[in-house]
A and B are shown apart, each in its own frame.
Chain A
Amino acid sequence: MNFDSVILWVAVAGEVLVCGLLMKRQMWRILPFFCVYAVWTLVSDLVGDLILQKFSNAYGIFYFYQTIADSVFQLAVLGELGWSVLRPVRQSLPRGSRAIVYALIALAGLAIWPLAAIAAPQSLIGKTAILFHLQETFSILRVVCFLVLACFSQLLSIGWRDRELQVATGLGFFSIASLLVTVLHSHQVWSPQYHRLEQALSVSYVCTMTYWAVSFATKEQERKEFSPQMQQLLVLMSGGARTGRMALSDLPPEPSRKRIK
């Protein structure tokens, strides 16, 4: 068994563990796309290995379409994370904000696409060039999205829940690692060095899986004391909103208006 096979099977074991923990923690309730993505990576890795063993000629085509599907899933996960960060202010957002978040990410991807082409090596042609271009675009897009989310949440002081932060940490780390590998790839021709970098990226993927497995295996921290006095403090700081709301709900229903003839 060579090093590549060892990494593959360790990664698959990590994916099985992460999928199991996601189900156990019922995380599809808060991050459904991420759960689907985790199952997708497991299934595609297993199917990919099977095709490589049995029909090695078809593996190139499989890898091409698998990368495209993977990119679409990543887009959905990024949108989901962006939307979950906006959770504390969702009520004050207009309708259709969720679609706007996804549209903005897709637009950012479209804007990055031509920029990524500049850095692509000229020696690549055909599907390989498209594949490299796609991977580079999504590497940049992921990092840009995380950067925007981090800056936005820091400026407006929006908090992240533990599980969302864990997912973002794993994805963010892997995104930066893949961007670094992509940058290095764009400055080299095909060589053994290329394969070593791919192996390094696979190792970073295994690290991400290990982090998620450890994080999801740990229970969320217990609630801290929140006394009625603390609650009272918040109620008063938030002003008359509640009073106004209660007063509105206490009002008798408006009598039906008679039609004036």
Chain B
Amino acid sequence: MLLPLLQIAIVSTLLVYFSKWRNSMRRRNVQSWDSLLCQLRSDWSARDLGEQFLWKEGLNATTDDIWQRLDGPRGLWAMFQNARVMLEMADFASRNALPGSLQIDPMVLETLRSDAMQIRLCVLMALGQYALSQATEGVKVNAFRAANIYSGMAARMTTLLQDHAAVVLPDFVAAM
């Protein structure tokens, strides 16, 4: 009697997970650009990653230093979530760009997706390793790689805002 109940419970759990996943995907397809920007994590700052974070690409520190500056898994998780927002921005662009003059170069979206996915993969690997063996060298290397790509993307975004939307730059710098 126990086995059928267990099987039904598993299938019901799958149904709940599936419906939640479906709703989140649907929400993702209808969200606005502003709501996307609002989803960038503002409760964690990556400005400690480097002396010239947001103004210069690349990190000039050791893997140990970066691990400490990231605040361990907390910083990794924030980067993971912000990378998701960046991926959703790329999706928004490919979904809503008008065919014709305003069409975005697919290479641009490809690069953005590639960077954001690399961040997510590095963070996932680092978090997985961290869960098994705490902060080993492998964890720190993956965290460094994620932070390096992340700082590059953030620096490019800062340059853009400085050139085109200086009014919102202080808010962005404060958020990052």
Interface, chain A (partner B; CB < 8 A): 88-89, 91-92, 143, 146-147, 150, 153-162, 165, 168-169, 172-173, 176, 179-180, 183-184, 187, 221, 223-226, 228-239, 241-242, 245
Q: Name the residue on B nearest A164 (C-beta).
A: B25
A233 with B157, Cβ < 8 A, contacts A165-B22, A238-B112 known: yes
If A165-B29, A180-B11, A236-B160 touch, whether A92 touches B114 (CB-CB below 8 Å) is: yes
Q: Which residues of B contact A226 (CB under 8 A)?
A: 33, 92-93, 96-98, 102
| Residues in A whose Cβ lies below 8 Å from that of B159 | 236
Could you pull out 8 A-B pairs where Cβ atoms are within 8 angstroms?
A: A156-B121, A176-B15, A226-B98, A233-B157, A234-B93, A237-B115, A238-B110, A242-B108
- Given A165-B29, A230-B33, A234-B104, 12 more A-B residue pairs with CB atoms under 8 Å apart are A143-B14, A147-B14, A156-B121, A160-B29, A169-B22, A184-B4, A187-B3, A224-B92, A226-B96, A236-B156, A239-B156, A242-B111
Q: Which residues of B contact A (CB under 8 A)?
A: 3-4, 7-8, 11, 14-15, 17-18, 21-22, 24-26, 28-30, 32-33, 83-84, 86-98, 102, 104-117, 120-121, 124, 152-153, 156-157, 159-160, 164-165
**B152: A residues at CB distance < 8 A:** 239
A150 with B21, Cβ < 8 A, contacts A159-B88, A239-B115, A242-B107 known: yes
Which residues from chain A contact B98 at a C-beta distance below 8 Å?
Answer: 223, 226
Q: Which residues of A contact B109 (CB under 8 A)?
A: 88, 234, 238
A231 partner residues in chain B, CB cutoff 8 A: 93, 97, 102, 104
> B4 is contacted by which of A187, A225, A233, A234 (Cβ under 8 Å)?
A187
B82 CB, nearest partner CB in chain A, Å = 11
With a CB–CB cut-off of 8 A, which chain A residues contact B97? 223, 226, 231
Instruction: Report how far A52 CA is from B84 CA in the complex, Å.
Output: 53
**Given A165-B22, A229-B164, are A88 and B113 neighbors across the interface (CB < 8 Å)?**
yes
- Across chains A and B, which 10 residue pairs bring their CB atoms closest together, nearest first? A236-B160, A241-B111, A238-B111, A159-B91, A238-B112, A157-B84, A226-B96, A157-B87, A238-B108, A150-B21
Give the complex CA separation of A13 and B8 in angstroms. 31
Whether A179 contacts B93 by the Cβ 8 Å rule is no
Interface of chain B: mostly helix, strand, loop or mixed? helix
Contact between A241 and B22 (Cβ–Cβ < 8 Å)? no
In the bound complex, what is the Cα–Cα distance between A69 and B170 (angstroms)? Answer: 62
A162 to B45, CA, bound (A): 34
**Closest CB in chain B relative to A89 CB, distance in Å:** 6
- What distance in Å separates the Cβ of A241 from its nearest Cβ neighbour in chain B? 4
- Tell me if B111 and A239 are in contact (CB < 8 A): yes
B157 contacts across to A, CB distance below 8 A? 233, 236-237
A221→B116 CA distance, assembly (Å): 26
Q: Are B107 and A245 neighbours in the complex by a CB distance under 8 Å?
A: yes
Bound state CA distance, A224 and B28, in angstroms? 13
Residues on A with C-beta less than 8 A from B102 are 226, 228, 231
**A96–B110 alpha-carbon span in the complex (Å):** 19
Which of the residues B33, B104, B153 comes within 8 Å of A225, measured between beta carbons?
B33
